[in-house]
Chain A
């Protein structure tokens, strides 16, 4: 699938749980790839790690989503849970600041998954590659550990 002469890069899982195809997310904005291609995690732990060496481009003020940019220009939107903007920050903690450089595996923040579920929110957490058009991806669907398990190989087209 990948050209040997192009450099393949790795993305590790930002959360522990299980990865699923983006098409299976219970929200058409994500499943129909309106925001771009990607992969989703069904988390079983609330820790969120950086999936690659990155600059933190944006943390939404409710701390339920992060935008990260890799050195090669790949931009990822990590969205914790579905419709969780409505929680207005309740249950979310963040340990990093915008424009901060982070290393793959570094803890970015936490989410209280019990609270999410108690309030009736779906915990599926999509990672969307918003400028994914210029990259090729190989997604891995499996049980994953935050900051450890490889979930995506990618390279420039």
Chain B
């Protein structure tokens, strides 16, 4: 497995067995035969091959062992071992193989233990990649492919062990140090805000350090970690310099935060650059050195240099900005136009949202989605859906225990369990009622939607009409304004009298009043639309034609399709079902039970008297039905249900009548207004324009006086205004028809 991991070299698998050995196994029977002891033979073997020291030989001060062993050529191979002569008690000497078996086998070579357990080592060196990634990859492979029995497990050690231990420790200690720095900052500046502000220097400097490591293609080592620690210290220092300068200026009385920042950075620029550059440059020799030991210092130096450079940049630019933000809040930036533009740019999506234009269909879709009533109605549907299974309303299960003198003088105990249910048709009818309820809720939602659609369209088109009206009024306003200007001029020159001027002014003010009213109306309608649509920002209806085109004029046959009618129908249906339900309640109910008791005492079984104790159980089952004998209440309910059915039938008819009436009326209005509209569009509107143009011409030519002019203009304007009224009524009629006929 290790062979397959990139970067693992010099693989070494510890060999614990497989060492060739000569093993002498004693044959105890043979030994007994010769009367030999193991120790005797051992001694001979030892002395012959290993050699035993019998003392020392002194050469002056030097000492050397005096060792007895077999001559060299007598202890060369296996046959020499086998043929080793052992003295016996009898005085003869026998070869070793007669009392032992001498074999060459492969045996254990070395045994390593750790913490009193045996272990084996598989080791490798790393090159080209860093330790961490290699070990992780290996761990994954091992977990997937190598299955070890219970008492065996694998542990990863070596230099890698230290890395994890150190990382763990650092991950606890570094946050503590960071926290201490923060406390210190807080005490120095007595402000959490400013403490946090300076604190931001730390992550900013970390960015630089990491980038520097990456650029130099160095992995993260403990060395680099120490470098980060040093880096944070200096980065914070820069922050302190700037912020204390800012505070000092503020204490001296400077008010404008921007000026404080600008001046403070100017005065402290040199100090900041020095505190950053001096350490960085001082580390350069370390970062580029190639001498012995440089590999340990390079990461440290790289991190500090890269980190300091980046952090100084960021301190000089980002910190002042943060300072301003912290001090003033976001409001500060409004007056600056460019900033406002920037803010707008960022807020553009939101702004677009605000100016959102919708078409009629879009408006309807939005309304159907968002309107609260619709949402409520939909919840109503869910309510009835959840109640679907409520028909399965069984009685509670009865469990009972009896103890005492039930059967005889002995104290018996009895357990009972019973369950009652209604006659099955009850549940069936209940279920159909539930289903009907669901249908009812759906229809109710539809009706709401219907209603809503009509309302939305009404509001929508009202707005469109108002837009057109506004145009009209603006036009009128300009006409009258021109007139007023001219009159005022002429009044000054004395050509006209005060009456004319007064009239002009009055007219003008009237128009502007109307304009004002219209604007109010417009806002109200927009608001209505917004509420109906239930959106956060107001929407602007957009449409080309304020006239709503109805696809067809529904006749009364369409009534049946309206949700209102369908609703009534279902109500009727439900009343019938309820009647059936009540009737079915008169059917009997069922009851099933199971008893288990003891009968302590003697009983005759066959021919014997047998004793039954408390442990002997006797069980029985019971069944019963409930007959509604006293059913007066239920019968009255049945009668009431019947009457309810009839009521619903009447209601249904009434609703149909009303709907037909409304539809008929709306249709009449619509047809009439449509005709009228045709008139306007073909003749009257163009006439009005002609009148205005003609009146102006004549006025300019002096052929008519101002009174006539005013009269003519007013007439024309009124006609045009009326047109819009007609349009509005037409639209409303159309919507009503659509609603009533279920066409929308």
Q: Do A and B bind each other?
A: no
Residues of B within 8 A of A (CB): none
Residues of A within 8 A of B (CB): none
